[in-house]
Amino acid sequence: LVFTEEDKYGLYSNLLFKYFLAEGIVCGHDLFVASAKEHPDNILKELPAPLLDDTCRKELGDEAAGVKSEDFQDSMKIAWRYQNLPKMETSPTTYTKFGHYYDASKKMSPELYQSVKWHSFYLCEELSREPEMKAWSMNSGYARLLQCIQKIISQEGFDGSDPQKKQRNVLRIGIQSLGSIFWGDDVCCSDTPEDPHSLTKFLYVLRGLLRKSLSACIITVPAHLIQ
C-alpha cells in the first residue's frame, strides 16, 4: 500500500499515480482505477507513454548476442558426437524487466492500455445505480468502494487464501484523492464531520484485503485540505 500526500496543485502526486498504473499495464497486470473526481476512462487516456522500443531492443539484442557467443564457444569445445543432441535449457526463455522509463510529454496508445484487463469505479455512476448504502460505520462512498474491491479480488482470482485454477496475476489498485469532499467525506470542510473516522476505517479494512490478496495499491490524499 503506497499512501501519497497530494501536493497543493496535484502535479507530482498525479504523475506518480499515473506512473504506477502505467507500469502495471507494461507488466501485464490487471488494473482497478477508482475516482470521485475524474472519470477512470480519462485517467487511462492520460497515462504516459512507455519508452520500450529502443531500450528493450538494445537489451534484447545484447542478450541475444551474448547467447550466440556462448553457443559458438560451446560448439568449439563440445565433442563432435554430441553436437546434434538437443541442448538443455539453463536459463528462462522469457525476458523480464523490472521498471521502465516513460515520456510524460506523450500519451500511452489506446492499443496498449486496452491490452490488459482493467476495472473502473466512478463514484458518481455508482451512486446513480444503487440507493444510499452505509456499511462498516463509514460513509456511502467508501463502503461502495470497499465492496467493489472485495468483489473483484474474490471473483477475478486475486484472493491469496483461495486456491485458484487459472494462472495468477497481480491486481494494481489506484484510488485518487481519497478523503476529499468528492468522496462525500466532510472531514476536510467541517469542524463537526458526520463520519470523522470513515477514512481511517476504510484504510484499516483495505489493508486487510490487500494483506490476503495478490494486490498492490496506491492512494493519493489531499492532506493539506484535511489539516
pLDDT in tens, 5-30: 998 887 899 999 999 999 999 999 99
221 pLDDT band (50/70/90 cuts)?
very high
- Mean pLDDT confidence for 186-208: 83
- Mean pLDDT confidence for 36-51: 95
What count of Cα atoms within 13 Å lies in the side-chain half-sphere of residue 209? 23
- Mean pLDDT confidence for 30-54: 92
- Residue 121: the pLDDT is 97
Q: Is 57 helix (H, G, I), strand (E, B) or coil?
A: helix
- Residue 172: the pLDDT is 98
For residue 89, is pLDDT > 50? no
- Residue 174: the pLDDT is 98
- Mean pLDDT confidence for 160-185: 86
- Topology of domain 2-50+108-226 in CATH is Rossmann fold (3.40.50)
Q: State the angle between helix axes of 140-155 and 198-211 in degrees (0 to 180), rounded to the nearest 10.
A: 10
According to DSSP, the β-strands at 102-107 and 48-50 are antiparallel
pTM score: 0.77
